[in-house]
């Protein structure tokens, strides 16, 4: 027990000191063993996702003059109301954070939210793979089914370049990866991992859910491919910080274009 170890720099070993013959994802295995149970992750996921839609309903009620109510995927293109588009999104990450403080051991222990140098490296690589893979899938879909329908992002690009639009783009780059990753690759992934679901199955399942919750039919395959690459960062390192970096890397170009192309 007095032996000095650096567990994140060497493969996992057995109790008897021999090297694990199946070292795949050894780093993630060490993280999972260290953090303990995230059985409460399912409750955090469903309450966070439910709270998201409840916030949408509330915002729709306070703005009844807008046809169809408030739609977070169609934010108003004027002033501080732009930021209301992401108000429900905050709950996606807030609820898992509250559960972590209440039932778990805090964000750092439960999710590995503070990035290490390795998380930055793996996250950047996976994020670039997500960006390239999403672009390639988009080209395939366009070749098969034609140009995509006009998106809300494209309509925002036609608006004025204001400080509110900058803040909107900044949240898309940093805020959305934080909240969505705490929900998807934090709470949900941790709960599935607790019940010993194979990691590859968790990667595919969370990527499917990640694509579906955006509710953008045309982009569903694109989001799935991106979700696989982003989730790979979580699967390799065992830490949500890596997938956050990957998600932010994937979102950087769209967020930059959102502000740069606006008038």
**Per-residue tokens: 88:** 């429900």
Neighbours of 41 (CB within 10 A): 27
* C-alpha to C-alpha distance for 229 and 120, rounded to whole angstroms: 14
Average pLDDT over the chain, rounded to an integer: 82
3-state secondary structure of 13: strand
Q: What is the pTM of this model?
A: 0.82
Q: Is the pLDDT of residue 72 over 60?
A: no
Residue 63 pLDDT grade (very low, low, confident, very high; cuts 50, 70, 90): low
Q: What are phi and psi of 19, to 5 degrees?
A: -75, 140
**Per-residue tokens: 74:** 């169609």
* C-alpha to C-alpha distance for 248 and 228, rounded to whole angstroms: 14
* C-alpha to C-alpha distance for 40 and 157, rounded to whole angstroms: 40
Please choose, from the candidates 149, 142, 121, 138, the residue with its C-alpha nearest in 3D space to the C-alpha of residue 225: 138
Which tens digit of pLDDT belongs to each residue from 112-146?
A: 999 999 999 999 999 999 999 999 999 999 999 88
């Amino acid at each position: 027990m007095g032996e000095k170890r650096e567990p994140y720099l060497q493969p996992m070993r057995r109790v008897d000191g021999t090297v694990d013959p199946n070292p795949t994802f050894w780093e993630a295995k060490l993280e999972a063993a260290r953090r303990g149970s995230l059985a409460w992750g399912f409750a955090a996921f469903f309450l966070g996702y439910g709270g998201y839609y409840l916030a949408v309903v509330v915002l729709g009620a306070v703005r009844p003059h807008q046809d169809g109510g408030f739609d977070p995927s169609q934010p108003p293109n004027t002033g501080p109301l732009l930021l209301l588009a992401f108000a429900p999104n905050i709950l996606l990450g807030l609820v898992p954070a509250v559960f972590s403080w209440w039932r778990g051991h805090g964000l750092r222990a439960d999710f590995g939210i503070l990035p290490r140098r390795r998380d930055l490296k793996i996250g950047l690589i996976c994020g670039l793979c997500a960006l390239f893979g999403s672009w390639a899938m988009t080209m395939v879909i366009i070749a098969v089914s034609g140009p995509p329908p006009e998106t809300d992002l494209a309509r925002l690009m036609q608006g004025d370049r204001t400080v509110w639009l900058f803040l909107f783009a900044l949240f898309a780059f940093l805020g959305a990866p934080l909240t969505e990753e705490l929900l998807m690759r934090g709470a949900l992934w941790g709960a599935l991992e607790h019940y010993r679901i194979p990691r590859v199955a968790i990667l595919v399942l969370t990527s499917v859910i990640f694509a579906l919750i955006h509710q953008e039919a045309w982009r569903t395959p694109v989001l799935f491919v991106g979700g696989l690459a982003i989730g790979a960062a979580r699967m390799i390192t065992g830490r949500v910080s890596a997938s956050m970096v990957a998600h932010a890397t994937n979102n950087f170009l769209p967020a930059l274009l959102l502000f740069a192309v606006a008038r």
